[in-house]
Amino acid sequence: MIWGEELSLLEQADTLRRQFFQIEHRGESGPTWAPPVDILATDRELIIVVALPGVAAEQLDVIIGDSGVVVVRGRHAMPACTKAAAIYRLEIP
The confidence score (pLDDT) of residue 67 equals 86
The confidence score (pLDDT) of residue 44 equals 92
Helix or strand run (H / E) with residue 61: strand 60-64
The confidence score (pLDDT) of residue 17 equals 63
The confidence score (pLDDT) of residue 27 equals 55
The confidence score (pLDDT) of residue 43 equals 92
Collapsing DSSP states into helix, strand and coil, what is residue 2?
A: helix
Helix or strand run (H / E) with residue 47: strand 46-50
Mean pLDDT by 10 residues, the chain (93 residues): 71 68 55 78 90 84 86 77 76 60
DSSP string for residues in 18-46? HHHT-EEE-GGG-EEE---EEEEE-SS-E
**Alpha-carbon distance 91 to 21, whole Å?**
6
pTM metric for this prediction: 0.51
Q: What b-and-e string marks burial along 51-80, b requiring 16 or more CB atoms within 10 Å of the CB? A: ebeebeeeeeeeeeeeeeeeeeebeeeeee
